[in-house]
Amino acid sequence: MWDLLLDPLSYSFMQRSLLVAVIVGVICSVVGSYLMVQRLSLLGDAISHSLLPGLAIAFWLGINIYVGAFVAGVLSTVLIAWIHRRSPIKEDAAMGIVLSSFFALGITLITLIQKENKIDLNHFLFGNILSVTPGEVRDTALIAVLVLACVVLLYKELLFYSFDPLGAQAAGLPVNLLNLGLMLLIALTVVASMKAVGVVLVLALLITPGATAYLLVPRFHQVMGLGALLGVVSSISGMYLSYYFNLPSGPAIVLVASVLFFLALLFSPSQGIFTRPRTGTEGESGLWREIKALWSGLKSR
């Protein structure tokens, strides 16, 4: 058992990859908890896909790709807000428009750059955590420190705003600044995660650990803490599966997180389909009652 655990750590690239995986697992789960509470999961997807043009342009100009990705992420959030406020288009539709347009632009730019430079930039889409450099580990750690520091300092304000935006505004909180700050935190988190799981899969790491924790614990700070722990477990387990079974690392991490979610969905002590506390007919499980209700609905038709 110890050999199985320690053997991957004998390689420096695995040490760097595991460190980045742990960092990403923590910050994605913490920031993603706010997205889940506000029912803005699509926003994380929109921001993650909008990074592609910034990545491509930064690579073409020879500057730090993290800078290009962050600028593109901020631009996408501003554009979403502008469309929503200046037109009758709903926010979810604005997210879909920005997501698809930025993603299409990014794919086009990456294709053109690959033709000119004969290089493969597809790892931006699906991640390539095994190739992280010491500099990228440093950048990811710095982003994580900044994100977590902001969450700690603004925890009460962001919590109030997330659960009751109108109440926060009535209480005199700068809701517009809080909203902008939260968008910036999401953009930074996605930028930090793109090397690990890629822009396509980052939404799963943002939402799934927090959603799993939501099924297991009742309070928001507990959701954040347990979600961070689950994110770390998913990241480390995915990396070991990737190492021993020759699997792509990003999808392996997401698959572990998804398995944990479905286990919680089925067997959570308070919310599980099979283990939900009995109400109504004594002796009937939650799943059996749902099956009976579905059957009754079909017969009534």
Q: Which of 1, 7, 63, 2 is nearest to 244 (CA)?
A: 7
Mark residue 68 as left, alpha or beta (left: phi above 0; alpha: psi -120 to 50; beta: remaining): alpha
b/e map 186-213, b = 16+ CB within 10 Å: bbbbbbbbbbbbbbbbbbbbbbbbbbbb
pLDDT above 70 covers a percentage of the chain that reads 88
- b or e along 71-106 (b: 16 or more beta carbons within 10 Å of the residue's beta carbon)? bbbbbbbebbbebbeeeeeeeeebbbebbeebbebb
Rg (CA), the chain: 21
pLDDT tens sequence across 143-157: 999 999 999 999 888
Cα–Cα distance, 20 to 137 (Å, whole number)? 6
pLDDT in tens, 170-210: 888 898 888 888 888 888 888 888 877 777 778 888 889 99
Residues 244-271 pLDDT 10s: 998 888 889 999 999 999 999 999 888 8
Mapping DSSP to helix (H, G, I), strand (E, B) and coil, where does residue 33 land? helix
